[in-house]
């Protein structure tokens, strides 16, 4: 005869307070973020799970109802010297909406004892099914066959020993038409795997003795997540249905560890049969008399019966709780820090119109601060500007100076005569070209605006020949003079390269500005979607503003070339007077002779020589030279005026610092002008970001609650 066993719970190794805290963590869904110590009962449908659960917990599940198999059930025993009752509540799924969580968390029912529970249990479960949306005969409007919500049954009393067991729906192999589907089968399997894959879960694999244990899928599933078998405990049920001795021997070999051994071993129990009632206490006491018979009586007593199993489960739960409890707070802190860091990378929330405006205004403000510092060459003020490719004003000034140098050497069609009558012949090799050039191919949106492919040609050297030819083709009946249109024609010909050279300059400046704008936008930590939307929305206006700069430059070209040459600049008269004087002075210098007197350094020119030089030129030659000198003097004044105007009006005013500068397009005023639809389109969070933000926010809340519980 088997020895009477001690009261269950004697081997529990941890304090009830720790176990209670673990349950509190589970109720706060902390188990979805880090593994918690738990006992989970798994098995196929009809394996005897519900009966085992009733035997372990004393909770009288109704016979044949199948009402608890559609969701996980957490049954907790907790010692409480002041209260004795059984409370039923629902732990909402982590994926439940706020509305569902509020509704499900609000469900609560309480009874005084198991007798009262037995009377009310069927109606309670029907209410629970309805609350979870489970479709049953009593709730045909339900939309679920299985639920991720958890039914919690907590039994408190002064004689209760702490134990928490979680029962998950039974795995089924075949679907039932009109009841279950392939999707339901996958859902249940996924639910079971979600519990047993956690490294701190003790797997109670329920196996009926009436099947071939060696081929049971539940053991293979447990082995998939517990390869070493350290977390799996086999529970053999329905031994009373075995008739053949050989089959009983196989079961005994499992319990004795001779076949398919598990580190935690196998236990054998006999549960209530289908024809027994929960209140049939004499029958309950007689159930395990079976183990006094052969061959069961030869099994180790600590492996036989519900009491032995319950003791072992309390011991295992205590061991794993004691082992991991000190780590939980550290893990929660790390997970919380990681979650906050991940949430921070998403930036501020952009759910409402106000949040979207704030997000864009902050980005626009940061962008404009970088623009301001870049225009002032205050590069040390912004990390972004430490990169040479973003040193905006430096690049533009260098480009403008390069333009001025090259314009002076290449902009005229023909070379003017110098004061000594020689003609210099500059080449493109004399020009200055910067090492840094931007590839326009990276910005196809600028194709219709910019043009940097024009190749400059060195000026010709036949200015006098060209003047003679032009004069011959256009002179009138005036004596010793030339027509009023000749100078205009001559200047237009001499300045025909101004337009192409200026277009190249503006194209380079626009490339620099466009590269700067897009580059800085990428540097100010905008969401990828937001960045794309802003670029898309401002591109058209940017192109218009770039074109305005080009148009202003071309207007300046037209004003210089298409209008009659005229200036109020006194430098013109000075230049012209100097050129005319040199035409007389230079030949006289060549005719001058040294003084015959000793100590007299002056040179002398004979009066006859002066007269000869002054009267030497014909009227026609004088006209040619006069045209040359006027054109040369005016060209120099016009060129300097033009280069300054191009920088000040087209570059500085239109493209850099004026009110319509493309650099000032993305600013706070622009953001505030956006209507609600455009705001949502630009700054509204994508579904994936919104879902990630909600998940991280919920995770942070759960982990903060966890740290409060673990204090």
pLDDT in tens, 481-513: 556 677 888 888 889 999 999 999 999 999 999
Same domain, 334 and 191: yes
Q: How far apart are CA 223 and CA 679, in angstroms?
A: 53
Nearest to 204 by CA among 11, 93, 47: 47
Per-residue CA distances from 230 to 219, 263, 266, 322, 325 (Å): 13, 5, 12, 17, 19
**pLDDT > 70: percent of the chain:** 84
Taking only Cα atoms into account, the Rg of the chain, rounded to an integer number of angstroms, comes to 48
Give the tens place of pLDDT for each residue, 371-413: 999 999 999 888 888 888 899 999 999 999 999 998 988 888 8
Rounded to an integer, the average pLDDT of 458-477 is 71
For residue 183, pLDDT beyond 60: yes
Residue 157 and residue 429: Cα distance in Å, rounded?
100
20 belongs to a structural domain: yes
CB 521 within 8 A of CB 537: no
User: What phi, psi does 335 have (nearest 5°)?
Assistant: -60, -40
Amino acid 572: pLDDT: 79
703 occurs within a structural domain: no
Distance from C-alpha of 324 to C-alpha of 404, rounded to nearest angstrom: 76
- pLDDT above 60: residue 7: no
In a domain, 381, yes or no: yes
Q: Is 698 domain-assigned?
A: no
Point out the domain boundary residue: 342, 364, 382: 342
Single out the residue in 304, 320, 342 at which a domain terminates. Answer: 342
Task: Tell me the per-residue pLDDT of 329-379, one tens digit each, with 9 for 90 and over.
Answer: 999 999 999 999 999 888 788 888 999 999 999 999 999 999 999 999 999
Residue 474 has pLDDT above 70, yes or no: no
Whether 522 has a pLDDT exceeding 80, the answer reads yes
> Average pLDDT, whole number, for the chain?
84
In angstroms, the CA 250 to CA 211 distance is 11
pLDDT of residue 1: 32
The pLDDT assigned to 426 comes to 57
For 316, the 3-state DSSP assignment is helix
Domain that residue 489 falls in: 353-567+634-684
266 phi and psi angles, rounded to 5 deg: -115, 145
- The answer on 367 and 328 residing in a single domain is no
For residue 420, pLDDT over 80 is answered with no
Q: What's the total number of domains in the chain?
A: 2
On the question of pLDDT at 65 being above 50, the answer is: no
Q: Can you read off the two tokens belonging to residue 374?
A: 């870049």
- For 445-460, how does the pLDDT look when each residue is reduced to its tens digit (9 = 90+)? 999 999 887 776 778 7
Confidence category of residue 151, pLDDT binned at 50, 70, 90: very high
In terms of pLDDT, which residue wins out, 544 or 482?
544
In the predicted structure, residue 591 carries a pLDDT above the cut 50: yes
Is the domain of 384 the same as that of 429? yes
Least confident of 468-482, 524-538, 692-706: 468-482
pLDDT band at 621 (very low <50, low <70, confident <90, very high): low
Domain shared by 225 and 370, yes or no = no
Over residues 587-599, the mean pLDDT reads 66
Question: Residue 413: its pLDDT value, please?
Answer: 84
Q: What gap in Å lies between CA 463 and CA 631, rounded to an integer? A: 10
What are the pLDDT digits (tens) for 260-286? 788 899 999 998 765 565 555 445 567
pLDDT score for 5: 39
Q: What pLDDT was estimated at residue 128?
A: 92
Say if residue 267 is in the same domain as residue 207. Answer: yes
Residue 112 lies in a domain: no
- Asked whether residue 591 is domain-assigned, the answer is no
Confidence class of residue 301 from pLDDT cuts 50, 70 and 90? very high
What is residue 74's predicted lDDT score, i.e. its pLDDT? Answer: 92
529: tokens are 């979607």
Question: Both 194 and 315 in a single domain?
Answer: yes
Averaged over 695-703, what is the pLDDT? 92
pLDDT score of 638 more than 60: yes
576 falls in which pLDDT band (50, 70, 90)? confident
Regarding whether 361 and 330 lie in a shared domain, the answer is no
Between 134-143, 200-209, 316-325, 516-525, the lowest mean confidence (pLDDT) is in 134-143
Same domain for 523 and 398, yes or no, is yes
622: in domain = no
Domain of 215: which CATH number? 3.40.50.300
**428-437, 441-450, 456-465, 695-704: which has the minimum mean pLDDT?**
428-437
Answer whether residue 373 is part of any domain. Answer: yes
**What Å distances lie between residue 467 and 461, 526, 560, CA to CA?**
12, 61, 20
Q: Contact at 8 Å (CB) between 463 and 412? A: no
Question: Region 532-536: what's the mean pLDDT?
Answer: 93
Residue with the bigger pLDDT between 419 and 46: it is 46
pLDDT in tens, 41-52: 998 887 888 888
For residues 12-22, give the mean pLDDT.
78
Q: 342, 367, 384: which is the final residue of a domain? A: 342
Note whether 190 and 338 are same-domain residues.
yes
Q: Answer yes or no: do 277 and 234 share one domain.
A: yes
3-state secondary structure labels for all residues of 666-696: CCHHHHHCCCHHHHHHHHCCCHHHHHHHHHH
What pLDDT is attached to residue 135? 85
The answer on pLDDT for 683 being more than 60 is yes
Whether residues 415 and 555 share a domain: the answer is yes
Note whether 77 and 313 are within 8 A (CB).
no
**Does an H or E element contain 201, and which?**
strand 201-208
pLDDT band at residue 39 under the 50/70/90 scheme: very high
Nearest to 313 by CA among 38, 51, 75, 111: 38
The pLDDT of residue 479: 47
Task: Please tell me whether residues 216 and 270 are part of one structural domain.
Answer: yes
DSSP string, 70-139: TSEEEEEEEE-SS--EEEEEEE--TT--HHHHHHHHT-EEEESSHHHHHHHHHHHHHHHHHHHTB--SS-
């Amino acid at each position: 005869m088997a020895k009477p066993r001690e009261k269950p719970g004697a081997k529990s190794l941890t304090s009830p307070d720790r176990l209670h805290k673990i349950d509190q963590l589970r109720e706060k869904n902390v188990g979805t973020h880090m593994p918690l110590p738990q006992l989970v009962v798994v098995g196929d449908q009809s394996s005897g799970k519900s009966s085992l659960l009733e035997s372990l917990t004393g909770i009288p599940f109704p016979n044949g109802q199948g009402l608890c198999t559609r969701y996980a059930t957490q049954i907790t025993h907790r010692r409480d010297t002041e209260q004795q009752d059984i409370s039923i509540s629902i732990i909402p799924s982590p994926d439940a909406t706020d509305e569902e969580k509020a509704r499900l968390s609000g469900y609560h029912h309480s009874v005084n004892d198991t007798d009262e529970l037995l009377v009310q249990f069927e109606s309670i479960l029907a209410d629970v099914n309805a609350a979870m949306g489970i479709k049953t005969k009593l709730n045909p409007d339900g939309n679920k066959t299985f639920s991720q919500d958890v039914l919690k049954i907590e039994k408190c009393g002064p004689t209760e020993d702490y134990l928490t067991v979680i029962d998950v729906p039974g795995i089924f192999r075949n679907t039932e038409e009109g009841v279950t589907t392939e999707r339901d089968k996958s859902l249940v399997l996924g639910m079971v795997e979600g519990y047993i894959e956690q490294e701190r879960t003790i797997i109670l694999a329920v196996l009926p003795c009436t099947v071939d244990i060696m081929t049971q899928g539940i053991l293979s599933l447990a082995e998939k997540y517990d390869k070493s078998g350290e977390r799996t405990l086999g529970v053999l049920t329905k031994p009373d249905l075995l008739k053949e001795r050989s089959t009983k021997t196989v079961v005994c070999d499992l319990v004795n560890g001779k076949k398919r051994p598990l580190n935690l071993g196998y236990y054998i129990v006999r549960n209530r049969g289908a024809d027994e009632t929960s209140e049939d206490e004499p029958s309950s006491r007689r159930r395990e008399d079976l183990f006094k018979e052969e061959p069961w009586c030869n099994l180790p007593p600590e492996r036989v019966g519900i009491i032995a199993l319950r003791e072992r489960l309390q011991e295992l739960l205590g061991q794993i709780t004691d082992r991991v409890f000190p780590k939980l707070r550290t893990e929660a802190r790390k997970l919380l820090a990681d979650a906050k860091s991940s949430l921070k990378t998403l930036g501020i929330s952009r759910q409402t119109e106000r949040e979207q405006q704030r997000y864009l205004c902050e980005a626009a403000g940061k962008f404009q601060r970088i623009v301001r510092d870049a225009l002032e060459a205050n590069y040390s003020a912004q990390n972004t500007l430490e990169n040479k490719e973003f040193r905006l004003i430096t690049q533009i000034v260098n480009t403008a100076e390069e333009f001025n140098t090259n314009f002076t050497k290449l902009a005229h069609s023909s070379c003017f005569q110098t004061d000594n009558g020689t003609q210099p012949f500059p080449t493109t090799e004399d020009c200055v070209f910067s090492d840094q050039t931007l590839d326009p191919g990276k910005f196809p949106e600028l194709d219709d605006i910019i043009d940097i492919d024009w190749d400059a040609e060195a000026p010709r050297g036949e200015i006098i020949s060209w003047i003679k030819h032009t004069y011959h083709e256009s002179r009138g009946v005036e004596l010793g003079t030339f027509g009023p249109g000749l100078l205009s024609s001559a200047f237009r010909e001499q300045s025909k390269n101004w337009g192409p050279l200026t277009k190249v300059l503006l194209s380079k400046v626009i490339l620099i500005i466009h590269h700067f704008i897009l580059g800085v936008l990428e540097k100010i930590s905008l969401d990828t979607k937001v960045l794309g939307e802003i670029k898309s929305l401002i591109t058209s206006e940017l192109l218009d503003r770039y074109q305005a700069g080009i148009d202003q430059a071309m207007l300046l070209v037209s004003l210089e070339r298409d209008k009659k040459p005229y200036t109020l600049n006194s430098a013109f008269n000075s230049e012209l007077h100097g050129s005319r004087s040199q035409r007389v002075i230079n030949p006289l210098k060549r005719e001058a002779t040294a003084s015959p007197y000793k100590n007299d350094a002056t040179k002398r020119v004979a009066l006859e020589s002066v007269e000869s030089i002054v009267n030497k030129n014909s009227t026609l030659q004088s006209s040619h030279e006069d045209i040359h000198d006027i054109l040369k003097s005016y060209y120099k004044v016009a060129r300097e005026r033009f280069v300054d105007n191009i920088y000040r009006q087209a570059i500085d005013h239109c493209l850099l610092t004026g009110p319509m500068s493309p650099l000032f397009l993305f600013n706070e005023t622009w953001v505030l002008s956006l209507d609600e639809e455009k705001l949502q389109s630009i700054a509204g969070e994508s579904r994936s970001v919104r879902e990630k933000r909600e998940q991280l926010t919920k995770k942070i809340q759960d982990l903060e609650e966890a740290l409060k519980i673990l204090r």
